[in-house]
Amino acid sequence: MTQTTAMPQTTPQRTATPRHYLMCPPTYFDVVYAINPWMDPSSPVDTAKALAQWEALRAAYEARGHRVDVIEPEPGLPDMVYAANGGIVVGGRALAARFTHPERAAEGPAYDRWFDTPAAEGYRRLGEAVETMEGEGDLLLIGKLLLAGTGFRTTPAGHAEVAERLELAEQGIELIPLELVDPRYYHLDTALSVLDDGAVSGETVVAYHPEAFSPAAQETLRRLFPDAILVGADDAAVLGLNVVSDGLHVFLSERAHDYADALKERGFVPVGIDLSEVFKGGGSVKCCTLELRPDATATTTEETSR
């Protein structure tokens, strides 16, 4: 039951803009602990299959003209494949994560170090967060708003640190806290998709599963995004909301059927992805993808920060 509220009169033209992504191959991916309700350490993981599925996702991005860089996976960090959690990069400023659970603690420094490598040229390495902050798992930029989840992982103190160290006010970006209430949707990116920031189309579009949010957060979302796509329980439960959008193509679980139809109705092109192995860790497309946004005021390429 995925529905579009208050359909706009005409669907604007969607346009893809080239993006820069960081991904981590699931070389050491496994489910050996349970830090979210999706994880069952007794169910086996097929690593070869996980790698093949991950390669297909990477190829899907590259086929649409996106740049993908890869961070070296580390043994003993089975969740490192979820690159979105490694940090947050806005306006060329890169802040690495501070994880809630000790099992993932070493991932913060690993992602931080990547910002010192030649591939990260142009991004300013700010180091690791001091407060609990799980990167783009909980922090989703849409235009001049940084939607910021809290309740299970990233804390309000983490939000405050992000605002300060990424100089959000100076960049004209407002942080919008959103409280999550369902443990299955422990990260904002499991409950909400950023689809179009409106930079080209003039229309800002998100999708979300209302029940994942507190009443106050639902009110905030209704106010900010009256035309949002509302995603029902079935599509949410295959982590269908955990998508990457380039403004036109929406890379999402091939199991989210109603949501894919709603995307088509709104002018997007859904690209179905099979990530059945990394799903066992409680993640999907977006979890595997950290977006790197260069400093638009310092770059001369067509890649602009939006």
Binding site for ligand ARG (CB under 6 A): 35-36, 39, 79, 82, 84-85, 104, 137, 187, 189-190, 281-283, 287
Q: Is 287 a catalytic residue?
A: yes
Catalytic residue among 24, 159, 249, 287: 287
In the complex with ligand ARG, the residue whose CB is nearer, 171 or 242, is: 242
Which stretch of DSSP H or E encloses residue 193? strand 192-197
| Beta carbon nearer to ligand ARG, 36 or 204 | 36
- Specify the amino acid at residue 116: D
Q: Calculate ∠ Cα 246-259-222, nearest 5°.
A: 80
Of residues 158 and 283, the one with the C-beta less far from ligand ARG: 283
Q: Which two tokens stand for residue 62?
A: 């590259």
Q: Which is it for strands 20-23 and 67-70: parallel, antiparallel or unpaired? A: parallel
Shortest Cβ 90–ligand ARG spacing (Å): 16
Long-range contacts of 154-160 (CB under 8 A, 24+ apart): 155/131, 157/131, 157/132, 158/98, 158/129, 158/131, 158/132, 158/133, 159/133, 160/131
**Residue 20, phi then psi, degrees to nearest 5:** -120, 120
Of 85 and 245, the one with the shorter C-beta distance to ligand ARG is 85
The answer to whether residues 243 and 291 touch, using CB atoms and an 8 Å cutoff, is no
Which tokens is 36 given?
């979210």
Q: Is 257 a catalytic residue?
A: no
Q: Which is nearer to ligand ARG, 87 or 247 (CB)?
A: 87
Cα–Cα distance measured from residue 106 to residue 266, given in angstroms and rounded to the nearest whole number: 41
Which member of 20, 187, 209, 249 is catalytic?
A: 187
Please state the closest distance from residue 189 (CB atom) to ligand ARG, in A: 5
* Residue 270 CB, nearest approach to ligand ARG (Å): 20
174-207 core/surface letters (b: 16 or more CB in 10 A; e: else): ebbbbbbebebbbbbbbbbbbbbbeebbebbbbb
Q: Name the minimum Å distance from CB 147 to ligand ARG.
A: 14
Q: Any idea what DSSP says for residue 56?
A: H
Least distance (Å) between residue 2 CB and ligand ARG: 20
Active-site residue set: 187, 287
